[in-house]
Structure 1
Amino acid sequence: MAKWGEGDPRWIVEERADATNVNNWHWTERDATSWSSDKLKSLLMGVRVENEEGECEVTAVSKVEGEASINNRKGKLIFFYEWNLKATWTGKTKAGIKYTGSIDVPNLSDENDMDDLDIAVTLNKDEPETPLTALMKTKGADKIREALGSYVGFLKTEFTQGMILPTANGVSNPQCSQSKTKVDKTQISSGSAATPPNTGVRIPTCKFSLRETFLTSPAELYRVFLNQEMVQAFTHAPASLDAGKGGRFRLLDGNVLGEFIELVPDQKIAMKWRYNTWPSEHYATVTLIFSDRSNETELKAEYRGVPEREEESTKQGWQRYYFQAIKQTFGYGARLY
């Protein structure tokens, strides 16, 4: 047997220091069913929409039935997944009247594009008619489709880590292959031969800024964003927060994640920030600048690297779950820009 480094270059199988699945030649399979079930529940529970009639959200996932797996053969990844999903949505009008209904998704699979996905939204039989049903059938169904598309993206990036092993030169060369000839529009590239593994994904992004005025001092408003008890108060949900440079945070039941990258007391907060429905490991950069305006504080929020298709939902999310929530919780209400 030849020594390491003396192999004949005509050999089909490349050498590896650990002699494990040389050149990714052998068939390997990974069961993604349990991971997928948890991920699907998490993504669906993050769906929320609203309009002038009221708001709707997914409040329970009652059925996640199916399976998922990934196969690696000769450096190619082949994805199999098939799911039947059922969930409950709850609507609330501006007047405070609540409604409930169901969501059925019978055909989430590798054979169907996201555009072909059947999403049936119905109102419970004992409920009176409401315009909120139409809201869930339109905007709600679109959000559900986006969430399920994110699941496919996570499956092809986050869950596949380690399936394509590095070769002798330390570089992996993953190639994604569909189990059918139909191409899934949600497929996210896992990199080229020259790209190290686990580097994230490339997606179209945008930048924008928002301004709000709060009836409080910069020091107090700055503290609101970094004090765990105050964050839990205005988000009305458990939060995990390490208020220091490099400290990580997790808000809104894990729907928002991030890390503080720069902190200037009472003046500036810069952070890596993401929704958990975004492509795996993709973060935007959010910078908050606090300016003293006599008895008020002007907050300028700058956003860079937000996925283009998430621009409006990110703006609405910050205005509702940060700015408006802070004003309502702590009494900092002031005029809106």
Structure 2
Amino acid sequence: MAKWGQGDPRWIVEQRADATNVNNWHWTERDATNWSQEVLNELLLRVRVEGEDGVCQITDVSAIEGEASINNRKGKLIFFYEWNIKASWTGTSKNGIKYKGNIEVVNLSDENDMDDLDICITACKDQPPTPLTAFMKKEGEKEIKLALASYVSHLKKEFAQGMILPTADGVDKEQQHVQKKVKIDKTQIDSLSTTNASSSGVKIPTVKFNLKETFLTSPEELYRVFVNQEMVQAFTHLAALVEADRGGKFRLLEGNVYGEFAELVPDEKIVMRWRFATWPAGHYSVVTLNFIDRGGETELTLEAKGVPTSEEERMKEGWQRYYFDAIKHTFGYGARIC
């Protein structure tokens, strides 16, 4: 038996604030399944390729089945992930004709190299022949592999940092290094790796703001603009998903904005969990819209809570430009007709 003070320093539990498992020297495991599903969904919905025959993009991810986790044993990190993914793509030719197809990714896992990944891209059976299918198989597959490789990279960066535990004296050297890196990466808006609030426990500074706008229409008509899928597609000029029920999903602006409806009071109020795709995975703001009848016009008030501090101006500008101004321009709710 080793004398006092001569044992392996990783077993000196009095250095730990809770006197257990110094630096995760014992076997530890963290589940990354929910985090992975959300990040995979976000990254795949960004896939878009454009060529001389038209544009192809992933418009829906219908299934992400599998699991992911990270294990630590004696300081060695072991990543496990295994996924089967199903998605849909839409192609738009130069003359505006739309085509639809399916994508299936089989066995995305830590055991397979990305170059050996089996990705099946097909056109729907009822679709006429189009060169966009071959284009999607060639160029689209490349972008899909890049998105999946990005997921693996984010997974390893995000979950590695949580496996190093602090000592009673504070944060250990490895954790200090990670925190320093987080500060550096904070300016990189597209990074998903170090700002995940729900998975890593990092608290995101948030703010609340209010906006108000007047539309020359009734509350009933303005309410429909936000919950009717065809009308949303009209003012965004892009494909959109709108499930106008409590708990229903919405996704618009090529997947850059998405969330779910938390409360719907017809012609009076909409409450939604709303986010930009580039926000830390799992973080949503709560946006409340109130429709107030002003006799021949509607006053719309917006309250947004839980907005990341660094995103306040971007979100304000986005709502003004892509919602308010676009709705007025598309439906003529901004100018009085004498």
**Number of residues of Structure 1 aligned to a counterpart in Structure 2:** 220
Instruction: Please report how far the alpha carbon of residue 152 of structure 1 lies from its aligned counterpart in structure 2 after TM superposition.
Output: 0.8
Name the structure 1 match of 2:90: 90
- The question of 1:59 aligning with 2:42 is answered no
Q: Please show how residues 243-282 of structure 1 align to structure 2 within 5 Å.
A: 252=253, 255=256, 276=278
CA, structure 1 residues 36+49, in 2 after alignment: closer, same or farther (shift >3 Å)? same
Unaligned runs of 5+ in 1: 1-6, 175-191, 206-226, 239-250, 257-273, 279-321, 331-337
Instruction: Please report how far the alpha carbon of residue 153 of structure 1 lies from its aligned counterpart in structure 2 after TM superposition.
Output: 1.4
Q: Is the 8 A contact 1:49 1:56 kept in 2?
A: yes
Instruction: Please report how far the alpha carbon of residue 28 of structure 1 lies from its aligned counterpart in structure 2 after TM superposition.
Output: 1.1
Instruction: Please report how far the alpha carbon of residue 56 of structure 1 lies from its aligned counterpart in structure 2 after TM superposition.
Output: 0.8
Where 2:126 maps in the other structure, the secondary structure is coil
CA distance in 2, matches of 1:200, 1:228: 36
Where 2:118 maps in the other structure, the secondary structure is coil
Name the structure 2 match of 1:151: 151
- The question of 1:37 aligning with 2:37 is answered yes
Instruction: Please report how far the alpha carbon of residue 253 of structure 1 lies from its aligned counterpart in structure 2 after TM superposition.
Output: 6.4
CA distance in 1, matches of 2:177, 2:161: 17
Name the structure 2 match of 1:109: 109
Deviations along 1:189-213, whole A, 9 cap, x unmatched? xxx98664753799xx9xxxxxxxx
Deviations along 1:133-160, whole A, 9 cap, x unmatched? 1221121111111111111112112244
- The question of 1:199 aligning with 2:182 is answered yes
Instruction: Please report how far the alpha carbon of residue 163 of structure 1 lies from its aligned counterpart in structure 2 after TM superposition.
Output: 2.4
Q: Is the 8 A contact 2:23 2:163 kept in 1?
A: no
Name the structure 2 match of 1:283: none
Instruction: Please report how far the alpha carbon of residue 167 of structure 1 lies from its aligned counterpart in structure 2 after TM superposition.
Output: 3.4
Identity percentage over the alignment? 57
Instruction: Please report how far the alpha carbon of residue 277 of structure 1 lies from its aligned counterpart in structure 2 after TM superposition.
Output: 11
CA, structure 1 residues 128+46, in 2 after alignment: closer, same or farther (shift >3 Å)? same
CA, structure 1 residues 113+122, in 2 after alignment: closer, same or farther (shift >3 Å)? same
RMSD (CA atoms): 4.4
Where 1:199 maps in the other structure, the secondary structure is helix
Name the structure 2 match of 1:163: 163
CA, structure 1 residues 196+118, in 2 after alignment: closer, same or farther (shift >3 Å)? same
Give 1 or 2: higher helix fraction: 2
Where 1:158 maps in the other structure, the secondary structure is helix
Instruction: Please report how far the alpha carbon of residue 10 of structure 1 lies from its aligned counterpart in structure 2 after TM superposition.
Output: 3.8
CA distance in 2, matches of 1:8, 1:161: 29
Q: Please show how residues 181-330 of structure 1 align to structure 2 within 5 Å.
A: 196=179, 199=182, 252=253, 255=256, 276=278
Instruction: Please report how far the alpha carbon of residue 254 of structure 1 lies from its aligned counterpart in structure 2 after TM superposition.
Output: 6.4
CA distance in 2, matches of 1:254, 1:8: 57
Instruction: Please report how far the alpha carbon of residue 161 of structure 1 lies from its aligned counterpart in structure 2 after TM superposition.
Output: 4.1
Q: Is the 8 A contact 1:72 1:164 kept in 2?
A: no
Name the structure 1 match of 2:5: 8
CA distance in 2, matches of 1:81, 1:103: 20
Name the structure 2 match of 1:130: 130
Where 2:163 maps in the other structure, the secondary structure is coil
Where 2:182 maps in the other structure, the secondary structure is coil
Name the structure 1 match of 2:18: 18
Counterpart AA for 2:65 = E
Name the structure 1 match of 2:209: none
Deviations along 1:246-288, whole A, 9 cap, x unmatched? xxxxx946648xxxxxxxxxxxxxxxxx98499xxxxxxxxxx
Deviations along 1:17-74, whole A, 9 cap, x unmatched? 2324223211111111122122212211111111121111111112211111111222
Name the structure 1 match of 2:79: 79
CA distance in 2, matches of 1:136, 1:30: 36
Instruction: Please report how far the alpha carbon of residue 121 of structure 1 lies from its aligned counterpart in structure 2 after TM superposition.
Output: 1.0
Unaligned runs of 5+ in 2: 189-211, 215-231, 242-251, 258-275, 281-320, 330-338
Counterpart AA for 1:140 = G
Q: Normalized against structure 1, the TM-score is what?
A: 0.52
Where 1:119 maps in the other structure, the secondary structure is strand
Where 1:162 maps in the other structure, the secondary structure is helix
Q: Is the 8 A contact 2:53 2:93 kept in 1?
A: yes
Deviations along 1:194-236, whole A, 9 cap, x unmatched? 664753799xx9xxxxxxxxxxxxxxxxxxxxx999xx97786
Counterpart AA for 1:51 = G
Q: Is the 8 A contact 2:46 2:255 kept in 1?
A: no
Instruction: Please report how far the alpha carbon of residue 117 of structure 1 lies from its aligned counterpart in structure 2 after TM superposition.
Output: 1.4
Name the structure 1 match of 2:48: 48
Name the structure 1 match of 2:118: 118
